Amino acid sequence: MNESVVLSIQVGGPTTMGVEGASDPMHRLWTSGIVKRPVEGPVWLGRTHLAGDRQADLVNHGGPDKAVLAYAAAHYPDWRTELAPLELPFGAFGENLTVEGQDERAVCIGDVFAVGEALVQVSQPRRPCWKLARRWGLKDLTARVQKTGRGGWYLRVLGEGTIQAGLPLVLRERPCPRWTVAMANDLMFRRLEDQDALAALAACPLLALSWRETLGQRLHDGSRSNPANR
């Protein structure tokens, strides 16, 4: 892996947007923490979030396995071309860390990185929700992000500490080299018939619990629907 660097750090809290009573659902009032703004200098990274960062929906976002969202800076040129004339600054996809030298094909579930005083671990791919499309007023954006695989990945925090933009992400451990974030995405959303691979991924102890449970349910449903398994 090439040297990885945190280019930018973004945080944000719940913000209410839209227009009350708007006829178009895309323009109605909604609240989200997806709007992130860059921070300068050292910022504290705790077990569940960066200082100054909060989620509006604590059922589907946040928590130890989704403490920090990372996103590849390398995706921005393509998005800026595809979504022109939108201006897409770092943080446009709701990420906390915009990273150079990493993408979904290069990082693996369970990878441990040192950054500043902190220690973080890749926990799961990011599955974008409808709020990303709402953020930019593009109804198909969530589906496009999922289709391209350019969704980013979540980090859990193994060791708290201060971090800041410009610092390297240094790989300390790679216990699961088979399971890149890209491969996990592919299995979850496209290769549903590959029961053996789904079972192997579901058994990965470093994959976030929510993903393991979803994969387990899909295996169960697939077994029930496959006559060969009855």
pLDDT of 1 higher than 70: no
Q: What is the pLDDT of residues 131-190, one digit of tens each?
A: 999 999 999 999 999 999 999 999 999 999 999 999 999 999 999 999 999 999 999 988
Half-sphere exposure of 189 (CA within 13 A, CB side): 18
- What single letter denotes the amino acid at residue 149? G
Are 167 and 99 contacting, i.e. CB atoms less than 8 angstroms apart?
Answer: no
Of the candidate ranges 40-49, 58-67, 107-116, 169-178, the one whose mean pLDDT is the lowest = 58-67
pTM of the shown model: 0.92
State residue 230's pLDDT score: 25
- CATH (residue range 4-177): 2.40.33.20
What percent of the chain has pLDDT above 90?
Answer: 75
Q: How far apart are CA 171 and CA 114, in angstroms?
A: 7
Q: How many CB atoms lie within 10 A of CB 103?
A: 21
pLDDT of 20 higher than 90: no
For 72, list phi and psi in degrees, rounded to 5.
Answer: -75, 125
Q: What is the DSSP string of the chain?
A: ---EEEEEEEE---EEES-TT-SSGGGS-EEES---EE--S-EEE-SS-BTT---S-TTTS-SGGGSEEEEEGGGHHHHHHHTTT----TTTTS-SEEEES--TTT-BTT-EEEETTEEEEEEEE----HHHHHHHT-TTHHHHHHHHT---EEEEEEE-EEE-TT-EEEEEE-S-TT-BHHHHHHHHHT-TT-HHHHHHHHT-TTS-HHHHHHHHHHHHHHHHH-GGG-
